[in-house]
Amino acid sequence: MRKIASRLSIIITCFTWFIYNHSCSSTRNNETLDDQYHVAAYIWPSCHDGERNRKVLWPEGVGEWEIIRKGTPRFEGHYQPKIPLWGYEMDNDPLVMERWIEKATEHGINVFIFDWYWFDGAPFLESSLNDGFLEASNSQDMDFYLMWANHDVKKNYWNHFKYSSDSLLWEGAVDQQNFEIITRRVIQRYFSLPNYYCINECPVFSIFSLHNFLESFSDVAEAKKALNYFRDETKKAGFPGLHLQLIGNGGPWDDIIEKIDVLGFNSVTKYNWGGPHPEDYIQWAEESMARRKQWDEALSIPYFPNASIGWDDTPRFPDKGVKDVVHYNNSPESFATYLQLTKEYLDSHPGQPKLMTIFSWNEWVEGGYLLPDMKYGYGYLDAVKRVLEGEYE
């Protein structure tokens, strides 16, 4: 009996070690589950002043409000400029963030995903997170995580009034040295905070561009080494591992799925429903649901669904017109319909956490925002609350 007990003890010890060391596994059925919906809204942290903001992009000292306020109607009935109900607030003001957190949590949004940038060897637009969100008196009421927006930026993309050239202002790809600086920075500054969002106690870190991430290294093997370094450093900081999330741009083609598997990503989601952008919101939504089905069938790891509010980036592009704007059937009620389908997707995938992403909390310049405005009031926030409380059919 003692031998049997001893062997059983060894088996239990080995099994426990396996579970601990694979607790960030990318398999759908190996997640620590709860019944709570994790509703994560993206924050585009551009609307604040700062020396670099003013010098390089927005000289008026109000961040991207400079561009948003200059939006012009391009067709009859076009809602431009977008006018926030609470005025042109600075997103790095902790008092502003306190109201954001309060209203978000009141309506069922419990995670903020901050767009996070690294250009020319330094962070960019980090003040919204550091000086606003983290200094808010109620910040502990809201979880958060980072989405590394490692995309290229053309000169006239964020301010066509300042730049006429479409040459590159910043490249999203980084070198090995900068990647290691990035990993140490996010681990030390953010992962250790009690409200950093984790899955299975593993901090979630999202990467926007797979292409630019691979461009940062000589080949896929070197890119895998870089991610393994990130994982190792996260474990050294006391976590069981790192949950790497990829923003699924484009379609789930075979080569993308293969790279996702080789690099060991743990999940995929979307920033928004993506292009093309038809004029009809319902058409956009239905096409996006078809792409979601393709991702779901192709992946062996969790796909966390996205619900998107309209699309209108005309303030950034003077030549865009009616065919570039999602405007038919674009309303809180239409959004509620597809948020309900997003919720039902999570209910139909019991082997993964109930995490959904929403585009977005404050993408005023791209026409997708939950924050109250002068046209819809609290319509979009109320839609989220109704769906999550089971009031919507």
CA nearest neighbour of 383 among 36, 99, 108: 108
Question: Average pLDDT of 257-271?
Answer: 98
Question: Average pLDDT of 103-121?
Answer: 98
The residues, ordered by sequence, that sit 6+ positions from 103 with a Cβ below 8 Å of its Cβ are 381
The residues, ordered by sequence, that sit 6+ positions from 281 with a Cβ below 8 Å of its Cβ are 310, 326, 327, 328, 329, 330, 331, 334, 335
The Cα–Cα gap between 23 and 288 comes to 31
The Cα–Cα gap between 144 and 205 comes to 10
The Cα–Cα gap between 87 and 181 comes to 37
Give pLDDT tens digits for 305-317: 999 999 999 999 9
Give the chain's domains with CATH numbers: 38-388 (3.20.20.80)
Cis peptide before 252 (omega within 30 of 0): no
DSSP category for residue 300: S
At residue 357, the 3 state secondary structure works out as strand
| End-to-end Cα distance, the chain | 59
Give pLDDT tens digits for 189-213: 999 999 999 999 999 999 999 999 9
Place of tokens 């003001």: 93
Question: Average pLDDT of 352-367?
Answer: 98
Output the pLDDT for position 164.
Answer: 95
The residues, ordered by sequence, that sit 6+ positions from 131 with a Cβ below 8 Å of its Cβ are 92, 94
Mean pLDDT, rounded, of the chain: 93
Instruction: Kindly tell me if the per-residue pLDDT of 21 is higher than 90.
Output: no
**Of 66-70, 250-254, 388-392, where does mean pLDDT reach its minimum?**
250-254
At residue 68, the 3 state secondary structure works out as helix
Instruction: Kindly tell me if the per-residue pLDDT of 3 is higher than 50.
Output: no
Output the pLDDT for position 35.
Answer: 85
At residue 308, the 3 state secondary structure works out as strand
Question: Average pLDDT of 265-270?
Answer: 98
The Cα–Cα gap between 43 and 108 comes to 16
Question: Average pLDDT of 367-387?
Answer: 98
DSSP category for residue 364: G
Q: Both tokens of residue 149?
A: 């927006």
DSSP sequence for 145-196: EEEE----EETTTS-TTT----SEEE-S---HHHHHHHHHHHIIIIITSTTB
How would residue 13 be classed by pLDDT, with cut points 50, 70 and 90? very low
DSSP sequence for 193-210: STTB-EETTEEEEEES-H
Instruction: Kindly tell me if the per-residue pLDDT of 186 is higher than 70.
Output: yes
- Of 267 and 5, which is predicted with more confidence? 267
From the number of C-beta atoms within 10 Å of its C-beta (0-12, 13-18, 19+), residue 265 rates as buried
The alpha carbon torsion through 247, 250, 256, 259 (nearest 10 deg) reads: -30
How would residue 34 be classed by pLDDT, with cut points 50, 70 and 90? confident
Question: Average pLDDT of 342-350?
Answer: 97
- The type of residue at 177 is Q
The Cα–Cα gap between 78 and 209 comes to 31
Q: 129 vs 58, 209, 284, 334, CA distance in Å?
A: 19, 21, 31, 31
Question: Average pLDDT of 79-94?
Answer: 98
Output the pLDDT for position 169.
Answer: 97
pTM here?
Answer: 0.93
Output the pLDDT for position 25.
Answer: 52
Output the pLDDT for position 26.
Answer: 40
